[in-house]
Amino acid sequence: MFDSKGASPYDSTLMLSGQLPKTIDPRKLARQGLKFEGSLALKQFDRLVASLADDQGEVQVFLHFYMSEDHRVVLEGYVEANLKMICQRCLDVAELPVRSDLNLMGVLTDEQARSLPEGYEPLMLREEPMALLPLLEEELLLSLPIVAYHPPEACQVQQSFTTESDEEAKAARAEEERKRRNPFSVLASLKADQKKSE
């Protein structure tokens, strides 16, 4: 859980509630130590909505920009929403709570992006301000399950029929998720396959 009341010396006292900027200049916001809290209508997230059963609802956002001890731009926070997807077991709508924690550090080059401290993902800094929504949407897309299911007790299809395939589906999902989180591993396995077939 992200703790916004932590004892970090970089904590700002300024929290902008209910206001989310359309574009962000991470360097400037980090120097100011700004925090933002607010929500955006789910239907604005076109790419995300394309995978959903329903575009109604809100996306909750918390963002905290600050400078790290070694003067690097950091964006911490989270984005969360209740998303409706079709349960692939009973084909009815399932409401899935999705949350993604943000731990981003500003980088200027690919080289810097590859050598970030453990636990951080790169935030590419540009001269011009960047749009906030696509950044949040990307995070949510990464958190979406590949295959959606109700929790077993809420599903209309009895568990006993599907236990085995559930286990398989779960394993497949974990594998997909791993690949999605790390596109380089996909490249590596593609290369490995290529070698094998040569």
Residues at the interface with Zn ion (CB under 5 A):
87, 89-90, 150, 155
Residue 74: both structure tokens together: 């950091």
Give, as one character, the DSSP assignment of residue 165.
H
Shortest Å, Cβ 169 to Zn ion: 12
Q: Which is nearer to Zn ion, 44 or 158 (CB)?
A: 158
Shortest Å, Cβ 86 to Zn ion: 9
Q: Which is nearer to Zn ion, 138 or 166 (CB)?
A: 166
Closest CA to 129 of 12, 43, 29, 42: 29
CA distance 193 to 14: 52
Shortest Å, Cβ 83 to Zn ion: 15
Q: Which is nearer to Zn ion, 90 or 169 (CB)?
A: 90
Residue nearest to Zn ion (CB): 87
Residue 18: both structure tokens together: 């209910």
Shortest Å, Cβ 129 to Zn ion: 42
Strands 130-131 and 23-24: antiparallel
Q: Which is nearer to Zn ion, 48 or 87 (CB)?
A: 87
35-49 per-residue burial string, b: 16 or more CB within 10 A, e: under 16 = bbbbebebeebeebb
